[in-house]
Structure 1
């Protein structure tokens, strides 16, 4: 017997499924909820349309400001994309943007033979127009990539194609090739950048200071540490810049107090050098200017004086340095007098030095205008000098060995 579709199912047909049978909902088949055993009406599930309306209408919790989980897949996708791009930039830094320039830009645009490529490269000007920035900024990224390509850090431009990603170096490497200042491309800027890299600092910092001397002056005037750094830099530069040394010397000479300070410091340095020279060379300079080996006790005394001077403060150094030089000169004179051979050599050297000095003075005299030079007193001095020279010659001839 066939049951009509409008006929309700028999009670035995509504019996619970046997144990082990797969529920309809596990089989992904939706079934009408059954009535409760007590005869209560089964809960009515909302239709899909009703669920959408319910979701769009804020409930009491939402009106109260309660947080609800984000179910919008588009928003989640945007967050993931931002996180991925942030991670890429955190790892590679400026290389991320430099790659976009390097693979898309060819200065001057694509040649005529390559203009029909599927995606031809464009000029820096066109790329800047599309990016909404200046062509100069684009070229700074282009030149940074070019420098890195010369060092083999990144591929050359010809190996890159628009839209094709490659593995990029670490972000820290980028700082050694990119500079945000256009002055870095000039010969002066390149020299500053080279010295900055040798000093272990970013070239952009040095270029910024070089472009603003007034700021450098303000820092030197206000900060002792900056002034000390500037002083050391000037001293290092003097070795390769004699003109700067001459200008500094003139500036010091024109400043009264400063010139006195420099003269005093020069005397101290000369005294210390006199003592240190005995230690370093093992020789001493006699009063006549001769260099002879220094006795051990003279070297030991010099070491004691130098150790004392180096342990003093700058303001106490001058008097001790002068006293050390005076003591060392006395020791040298005593060493010369105590050695007969050295004493004779010293006397001979001093005598010869004076004779040569007098002879050189007379060689430089000119008598073209003798009438204008004549003075009775001057003539008497010359005659006295002539007699002294004659007596000196006579004495030396008498002391000459017989065989000479």
Structure 2
């Protein structure tokens, strides 16, 4: 007896059991064409939809298939402000001759559209651009050679700007440069920033350190560029050639530093070297050394005289109100020191 063996048919993947629905290919191609059109024209694609379907303001509804911006927005599920931003962008482009005016368009009609990059020249993404603030931002963006839309987007999202500054050193650097530029014409910002620095210990220390470094660099620069030195007693003299050359060498090293390099240590070394050379210059010249001591004495005498002149009893009704036991003692000690100084000077005058 023979047995019939039935071989099962090979399983056919579900994807191939049925033919593709009719028209699927056409749908894919349509999506691809739409994608390509938007990639080429960007916002113009949506601008055209608004321009050919929304009637111009003031035009009556009778006799036109177009609808108002409000009705179009309701149909689109968005705000009327958004629709009007596209409307106004198209209107400005039409005035420039890039696209047809609204009156020449009908619902569903297609026209040749400009490149996508041009759209951002006309489209303003925020209604705030028409405000005084927006106008100022637009003007600043144009002065910097960038599209106003980018600057307006940043201004509308300060939290995002803060995040970028906190996370990215280059963004923080750009923000710092912008603040410094604004400080020149914004007294209120100057005051606020100065107050912030005064209230922050780390910033106060940093400012003090940078100020000290800047003063030291300026001291070295004056020696190198003007050829003059200032002695410890305050005399201004012509710098010797060797001293000036050393100052120029240090200054060149400082000027060659990158922005990322700290100048504090270099400034301290340059300042210390030049100051030491100034002191050596004074000590090496007997006449200059005497003149330095004389200048220092006069400076101290002038300071002491000024301080004593400020000592006044005019505010006291009588001495009983201000008297302390050590006042007379300290004045007597001062008088004794003055007498000693006078005696020494008189002896010196007798030997001349």
TM-score category (smaller protein): 0.5 to 0.7
> For 1:245, which of 193, 208, 225 is the aligned residue?
193
Larger Rg computed on CA atoms: 1
> For 1:369, which of 309, 315, 329 is the aligned residue?
315
State the distance in 2 between where 1:316 and 1:64 align: 74
Q: Does the C-alpha gap of structure 1 residues 249 and 338 become closer, same or farther in structure 2, counting only changes over 3 Å?
A: same
Q: Which residue of 2 aligns with 1:275?
A: 220
State the distance in 2 between where 1:87 and 1:222 align: 36
Taking structure 1 as the reference length, the TM-score comes to: 0.56
Report the Cα offset of residue 377 of structure 1: 3.3
Say if 2:137 and 2:148, in contact at 8 Å, map to a contact too.
yes
Report the Cα offset of residue 124 of structure 1: 3.2
Deviates more, 1:243-252 or 1:162-171: 162-171
Consecutive unaligned residues of structure 1, counting only runs of 5 or more, are 1-62, 399-404
Q: Which residue of 2 aligns with 1:140?
A: 85
Q: Matches of residues 172-191 of structure 1 in structure 2 within 5 Å?
A: 172-191=117-136
Report the Cα offset of residue 344 of structure 1: 8.7
Say if 2:125 and 2:153, in contact at 8 Å, map to a contact too.
no
Q: Which residue of 2 aligns with 1:23?
A: none
Report the Cα offset of residue 263 of structure 1: 3.9
Residues 253-288 of structure 1, C-alpha deviations (whole Å, 9 max, x = no match): 2x5xx6545544443443334323433444444435
Say if 2:229 and 2:236, in contact at 8 Å, map to a contact too.
yes
Report the Cα offset of residue 172 of structure 1: 1.0
Q: Which residue of 2 aligns with 1:97?
A: 46
Residues 59-78 of structure 1, C-alpha deviations (whole Å, 9 max, x = no match): xxxx976789x9x9xx97x8
Report the Cα offset of residue 186 of structure 1: 3.8
Say if 1:94 and 1:174, in contact at 8 Å, map to a contact too.
yes
Q: Does the C-alpha gap of structure 1 residues 206 and 311 become closer, same or farther in structure 2, counting only changes over 3 Å?
A: closer
State the distance in 1 between where 2:98 and 2:329 align: 89
Any idea what SS the aligned residue of 1:175 has? helix
Q: Does 1:327 align with 2:269?
A: no
Report the Cα offset of residue 246 of structure 1: 1.1
Residues 31-60 of structure 1, C-alpha deviations (whole Å, 9 max, x = no match): xxxxxxxxxxxxxxxxxxxxxxxxxxxxxx
Q: Does 1:170 align with 2:143?
A: no
More helix by share: 2
Consecutive unaligned residues of structure 2, counting only runs of 5 or more, are 1-15
State the distance in 2 between where 1:225 and 1:345 align: 54
Residues 291-332 of structure 1, C-alpha deviations (whole Å, 9 max, x = no match): 555443223212322445556998986555323211101223
Q: Which residue of 2 aligns with 1:380?
A: 332
Q: Does 1:161 align with 2:161?
A: no
Any idea what SS the aligned residue of 1:128 has? helix
Q: Using CA pairs below 8 Å that are at least 6 residues apart, which structure has the higher relative contact order?
A: 2
The alignment yields a C-alpha RMSD, in angstroms, of 5.2
Taking structure 2 as the reference length, the TM-score comes to: 0.62
> For 1:296, which of 232, 241, 244 is the aligned residue?
241
Say if 2:282 and 2:289, in contact at 8 Å, map to a contact too.
yes
Deviates more, 1:201-210 or 1:264-273: 201-210
Say if 1:238 and 1:244, in contact at 8 Å, map to a contact too.
no
Say if 1:153 and 1:169, in contact at 8 Å, map to a contact too.
no
Count of aligned residue pairs for this structure pair? 320
Say if 1:283 and 1:294, in contact at 8 Å, map to a contact too.
yes
Residues 223-248 of structure 1, C-alpha deviations (whole Å, 9 max, x = no match): 55555555555555544431232133
Residues 314-361 of structure 1, C-alpha deviations (whole Å, 9 max, x = no match): 898655532321110122344566789987987787666556655654
Deviates more, 1:309-318 or 1:354-363: 309-318
